[in-house]
A and B are shown apart, each in its own frame.
Chain A
């Protein structure tokens, strides 16, 4: 790290300055659009242009008063929470199994379990649409929850498996040798240690479902429209300041999720440090 401060030649200094300037512009490019629409949501006018005619919270009240937006928020929550719980159960069990399973089929099983992340959303959505329609699962909460669970589980498996990899299996053996049954060993020894990993998996799963729109686009009836689906419709028609208010609310939720992830990561590192140091 110290060699960045001791740049000897002029060309090195120029190269470093270029890197800094270009990176600064790219980071600005990444943040700017999100920052740019935030003030617009507090505008008292109906147009999405600067300068703002005045400050008001009318678009936030508009969002809160709209039964359509509130229904979509409720739907997003119902589907997101249910899919998270389901994918946590399935994903955690599978991760525990995968950590111990030795087989030549393991790479194949892993590929299958992770494939929902890679397959383009439209393909999954079209397949589910064909498959679920005859079963009466389109236009229903259960269909959407099942579909979202399939999409969320890979993230749970990735996060929980990573946590299990750093988990010292000798600890559970120690518990067993001291007379703990497998259930007690899991609950009292394994679970507390992998809990931060489980929590990050849950956050990942929830964020995935909360942001998903393609499957909802194909499968949801008017009663199951989620927040992103409603935004999609709004952006298609014409972008009202209410949408920018919704965007800000969603961004705040993202910030909370991101901050929780970061806290969990730090906690996890501290735990590891305590164990090994």
Chain B
């Protein structure tokens, strides 16, 4: 030890301690980062990448340029005011023949059918009638002869609009918006506007479930925070056991309990409240009941932790200063629970608007939320662009709310730290 010390003293005054400390700290930070990186790399592959891919699907437009490349380039200089020239018609005729041969015509016609319904039929029947490439100079007459739609500007505008490589078509469609031939955005007519309704329904269900959870969860959290810890722990099991029980088990249980000859209907009939069974499931009522049940712990737990930290002395002080119990509760206790109310409501709302399984199982056709349609367009109709666009809107709403939640909870921790 002494020898080492002496040796250190003999050595030339090399690196100052400050710099050595900084270097050691930098090495420590580097090591810390090296421990985090495997997880980040993993999430890049299994989470961030897939989400980015989905967002990409919502804006890419590849079907038409792949199937009709010459038409797309012929239309790039088209002004859109009159019918395109003979060159574009000839390019289209050539593209259709080639695309039919290499099998890319079907996906392109599906894409064009989203813009103008009936486009698929036109394109496919044109492909059937077109045996060989038309003589030079006759392409326009030949195509219009096969289908009158080729003589309309709109048809060509649809092709030009879908000529990629990027499009806002799906994102606009997910908000019930369209572009007209001049490129200006307008709202889809009332009878075609479906997604606005679905988003409205999703948020309505989210709000209703959040409100139900708050109204029903608040007294429970208050009771749990006020009771002596022995009985509170016992009651806490009633909150935690459902929380840990499988979502499928709880959903299944509600269907069994609420169905036409289920326990609730039987009991009500036995009591003489109703004469005939009431429809309690596969409708909005069932969705509210099951979702409130599933999400209630997410309200009770944050409320409980905030209430538990409120010193009872404040309310006692208010009472001793002459506040009535109601005033003491409303003016002293309630304001202190607001961080918990905020956190619980945001959490429940964020989770509720993304719900898929529970509404799919206990709801009817008119109770399906946005997630259902994302799944539907992905697997049933294979309209990945629209599925991704709806997903992008839902993701945006979720991330925005989650950031508010993060701010709120972070702030709470800070004030909590200050109190201590």
Which residues in A have some Cβ–Cβ distance to B below 8 Å? 1, 3-4, 9, 11-12, 15, 18-20, 22-23, 26-27, 29-34, 36-37, 40, 47-50, 90-91, 93-94, 96-103, 109, 111-113, 115-116, 118-132, 146-147, 149-150, 153, 157, 207, 210-211, 213-214, 217-218, 228, 231-232, 235-236, 239, 243-244, 247, 250-251, 254-255, 257-258
Contact = CB atoms under 8 A, between A and B. Distances in A.
B262 interface: yes
A131 B53 contact: yes
A94 B35 contact: yes
B50 A127 contact: yes
Contacts of B245: 34, 250-251, 254
A40 B399 CA distance: 42
Contacts of B312: 1, 3
B117 interface: no
B255 A239 contact: yes
B40 interface: yes
15 contacts: A3-B316, A30-B239, A31-B242, A33-B250, A94-B38, A94-B39, A103-B29, A121-B357, A123-B354, A126-B378, A132-B50, A147-B46, A235-B252, A247-B252, A251-B246
B186 interface: no
Contact of A131 (B50, B252, B326): B50
B387 interface: yes
Interface of B: 28-29, 31-36, 38-40, 42-43, 45-51, 53-54, 57, 216-217, 219-220, 222-224, 226-228, 235, 237-242, 244-257, 259, 261-263, 266, 293, 296-297, 312, 315-316, 324-326, 329, 350, 353-357, 361, 371, 374-375, 378-379, 384, 387-388, 391, 394-395, 398-399, 402, 406
A266 B272 CA distance: 49
A150 B42 contact: yes
B364 to A, nearest CB: 14
Nearest to A15: B325
A239 B46 contact: no
Contacts of A36: 253, 256-257, 263
A28 B341 CA distance: 22
A34 B256 contact: no
Nearest to A246: B249
Contacts of B391: 122-123, 126-127
Contacts of A3: 312, 315-316
B406 A128 contact: no
A34 B355 CA distance: 21
B374 A26 contact: no
B40 A109 contact: yes
B248 A116 contact: no
B249 A250 contact: yes
B152 to A, nearest CB: 35
A89 to B, nearest CB: 8
A30 B219 contact: no
Nearest to B355: A120
Contact of B350 (A100, A118, A243, A255): A118
B38 A93 contact: yes
A113 B257 CA distance: 39
Contact of A213 (B248, B378, B398): B248
Contact of A211 (B247, B262, B325): B247
A33 B40 contact: no
Contacts of A112: 40, 43, 48
Given A37-B252, A126-B388, A119 B395 contact: yes
A212 to B, nearest CB: 9
A111 B406 CA distance: 9
Contacts of A257: 244
Given A30-B238, A123-B395, A243-B252, A101 B33 contact: yes
B216 to A, nearest CB: 5
A98 B34 CA distance: 10
A26 B262 CA distance: 20
A2 B38 CA distance: 51
A106 to B, nearest CB: 9
A97 B223 contact: no
A126 B40 contact: no
Contacts of B241: 31, 34, 254-255, 258
A128 B50 contact: yes
A118 B248 contact: no
A239 B250 CA distance: 13
Given A126-B374, A239-B255, A23 B394 contact: no
Given A9-B325, A147-B46, A247-B249, A123 B220 contact: no
Contact of A128 (B46, B250, B263): B46
Contacts of B252: 37, 231, 235, 239, 243-244, 247
Nearest to A214: B356
A150 B43 contact: yes
Contacts of A119: 51, 354, 395, 398-399
B46 A213 contact: no
Contact of B50 (A124, A153, A235, A254): A124
B255 A118 contact: no
B85 to A, nearest CB: 39
B46 A228 contact: no
Nearest to A93: B35
Contacts of B50: 124, 127-128, 130-132
A38 B338 CA distance: 38
A40 B266 CA distance: 15
A117 B187 CA distance: 35
Nearest to B254: A33
A32 B263 CA distance: 11
B54 A50 contact: no
Nearest to B44: A112
A213 B247 contact: yes
Contacts of A27: 220, 235, 238-239
Given A3-B312, A30-B296, A213-B357, A149 B250 contact: no
Given A122-B356, A150-B43, A232-B357, A23 B220 contact: yes
